[in-house]
Chains A and B, each alone.
Chain A
Amino acid sequence: MAISPAGDPFENPRAINGRAPDVFTEGGWVPMRHYRDEEEVDFAIVGTGAGGGTLAARLAEKGFSVVALDAGPYFRPMEDFASDETAQNQLYWMDPRIVAGDTPLTMGGKNSGKAVGGSTVHFAMVSLRFRPEWFKSRSLMGYGADWPIDWREMWQYYAEAERALSISGPVSYPWGPKRPRYPYRSHPINAAGMILAKGAEAQGYEWTPTPLATVSAPRGKSHPCVYRGWCRFGCSTNAKQSALVVWIPRAITAGAEIRDLAMVGKVEVNGAGKATGVHYHREGRWRFQRARNVVVAGYAVETPRLLLMSATDRFPDGLANSSGLVGKNFMTQPNQAVFGDVEEEIRWNKAPPSTTITEHWNYCDRKDFFGGYCWMGQGPLPIEWATVQVGARGVWGEQLWRDMQNYNHQVGVKLVGECMPDEKNRVTLVTDEKDQYGLPITRITFSLGENDKALIAHGLDQMQQSMQLAGVRNLFRQDNDYNHLGGTARMGDDPRTSVVNADCRSWDLPNLGVCDGSGFPTVGGGNPHLTIHAIALRTADRIEALAKRGEL
């Protein structure tokens, strides 16, 4: 990575000495509270994405003292983000991990993030609510595990998250219980999105402009989206309402301290079985931040990794792991696609990748497998598209070179589907290989289950039918792609079958929490960030309520 005038974000921390980068101003800074390591803060939060970033802001706004640490750099999007797929690998978690199982996953890309703001810095901004029944999928639908939270409560927090992120969406949403109108008008539909609409209408399915976390009108210092289409490689204009742009500035304004390039390697626990702070690596050395409460928000791989790495004599299997479930029930979301070409010029690289969506099969139960899926418009950039060509079609040579030139005529739809929790799918520590911090790396074992395969087959058939009806030619399937993660520190009502309770507090160490996608008992058939946001907003309210009662 070439160095910008702003300096190398990976070389030295930027949020230091009482100031942090102002992401809205080139070279600008904002004042930031600084806590000494010895000061016992109310909360040390590990990770600053949809879970940790949101929680840091809300807890600080409620008057708690907060230090939020992130292993990744503090980017200045306008100065650091190139329109370049390769260079923007800088947004991902690229440290070594081992993948295994019958369906070894591709990591280090869209399903990972290592930056202040976490994966929201590169997410596709698709902002969906769960179907209400999913919160009680075991009781109501016969699969997975129940969430310990009622959907009506979640509906309130979804609304709060949608307001906080100024979600741009349709006037009325076709599926599920009534929801408020989206705060911002929906974005124009690009040519690729129109093809989805045409196919869905031909099938008799509803579709809608995708609710997106990028603004369609000015908001604060964010200009409206300019439809550059590089969203998944970082938004260099700050239209995207990432945690880096929304929650981190709020957290700092409210008095929280954000520490970038701060890799937490261990949660310390005292003899009384309470978390006392975090050991973290920053500026070349290990340090210890004291804290009255610790919340881990590192997503479905790093969260269980940290809990497992923090094992003590008293907790030999890792922290919060009396259930034995830390790292287990690892889930991803199937992300299969059907692609083809049309006579017209589509130029699908323009605008957010998904401007339209159908959640038909999330809400229709006339199918012979559990769970659901949605599908949405696509706009892969050249390297991604080449990866699809070689991965899904196995083409190379002259044919690959020639077929790639059809880029501006390609179109397709991609599903985001529900994967069943299975204890055999898990994150474990690799003892004989260490990362650059000297910490054991992870092994991610994943195999599709029979239900997952049935869902994928159904989804591919449905998408193929849809594309055929829309007049798309030369169809082919991408059957080997997966994305969002979850499940490795699941929440529940029973300490024997869950890691944390509804308030994201661990059953074993009440002052240790988990607040991110790893708490999901089930992942549903849609992009998870809005649910992570809603959980974090709820958790902040619950912490405030518990503190007022002296129960924190």
Chain B
Amino acid sequence: MTARYPGYDVLAKRHTLSWNEATRRVVDKRLAVPREPRFLTTDEWATLRAVCDRILPQPKDRPPVPIAAYVDDKLLENKIDGYRDAEMPHQGEAWRIALAALDGHAREAHSRRFHELAAAEQDALLTRMQKGELSGDAWQGMPSRKFFAKRVLHDITNAYYAHPTAWSEMGFAGPAAPRGYVRMDANQHDPWEAAEAHPGREAEALAKNKRVV
């Protein structure tokens, strides 16, 4: 797939007026999160990684955003959401229950663990979870539909879209402080925003994105 914002890297603005020290600090810390599990077990980790790969499949031609590591970090650090549905256990417990249950469903249907299934088989199970069709003792009373909405989608998208790689590929201008923007009309952008590739003019966008300042 051709990049929509060719050559654009939001990190290239790290030392411009668009990034303040507080932003550099939190992004640096995020980029340094260990890639190995510290909360989940090795088995749980394998399942989680497989789930992340299906919820947000990533291009193979760039370093992946370590989504599972961010989910694990959230659980380890007990960064909670400020609320919990009455039918849901605490986030760490919810993930442990669901990851085990998912493996159980995979074994039941395919005699393999979830991470060993083909992508289509994994998607089928995740779709059933989204619809609340997965149930059984392994779920310990937790509605699979709510787990999918409140944990799978929430934790995984929150992890992915907190990463500069995600910002760059969607053309998001990213951090902006103390400098904001001066062009706010349609089809206008400042030199420190991502340039979109228009058919036949990809090189123009690439050139602009290489000197985002």
Contact = CB atoms under 8 A, between A and B. Distances in A.
B103 interface: no
Given A84-B26, A405-B170, 9 more contacts: A83-B19, A94-B80, A99-B84, A100-B86, A106-B83, A107-B83, A190-B185, A229-B176, A404-B161
26 contacts: A2-B28, A3-B25, A82-B20, A83-B175, A83-B177, A94-B81, A99-B83, A108-B81, A188-B184, A191-B184, A227-B181, A228-B176, A228-B178, A229-B180, A229-B181, A237-B177, A344-B187, A345-B186, A345-B196, A349-B173, A382-B170, A383-B161, A387-B154, A390-B149, A404-B170, A405-B169
B147 interface: no
A79 B193 CA distance: 24
Contacts of B57: 397-398, 401
Contact of A96 (B30, B79, B80, B193): B80
B139 interface: no
B179 interface: yes
Contact of A4 (B25, B83, B177, B189): B25
Contact of A383 (B25, B30, B130, B158): B158
Contacts of A94: 79-82
Nearest to B159: A86
A229 B130 CA distance: 33
Interface in A40-96: 78-87, 89, 92-96
A326 interface: no
A464 B20 CA distance: 39
Contacts of B185: 190-191, 194
Nearest to A2: B25
Interface of A: 1-5, 78-87, 89, 92-100, 104-109, 112, 188-191, 194, 225-230, 236-237, 342, 344-347, 349-351, 381-383, 385-387, 389-391, 394, 396-398, 400-401, 404-405, 407-408, 443-444
B23 to A, nearest CB: 4
Contact of B180 (A89, A228, A398): A228
A83 B186 contact: no
Contact of B157 (A344, A346, A400): A400
A5 B160 CA distance: 28
Given A83-B19, A99-B85, A344-B186, A408 B26 contact: no
B154 A407 contact: no
A394 B130 contact: yes
A227 B173 CA distance: 13
Interface in B18-48: 18-23, 25-30
B15 interface: no
B22 A236 contact: yes
B207 interface: no
Contacts of A405: 4, 169-171
B123 interface: yes
Contacts of A89: 79
Contact of B82 (A97, A382, A383): A97
A108 B176 contact: no
B196 A349 contact: no
B167 interface: yes
A446 to B, nearest CB: 11
Nearest to A230: B176
B66 interface: no
A526 to B, nearest CB: 24
A121 B187 CA distance: 31
B157 A387 contact: yes
B182 interface: yes
B184 A391 contact: no
Nearest to B29: A2
Which of the listed residues A83, A383, A398 has the most CB atoms from chain B within 10 Å of its own CB? A83
Contact of A407 (B26, B84, B172): B172
A190 B184 CA distance: 5
The 6 closest A-B pairs by CB, nearest first: A108-B82, A226-B180, A228-B180, A83-B175, A107-B83, A228-B176
A300 to B, nearest CB: 14
A56 B158 CA distance: 37
Nearest to B25: A2
A236 B84 contact: no
Contacts of A390: 149, 153-154, 157
B54 interface: yes
Given A84-B175, A94-B82, A387-B157, A345 B181 contact: no
B149 A391 contact: yes
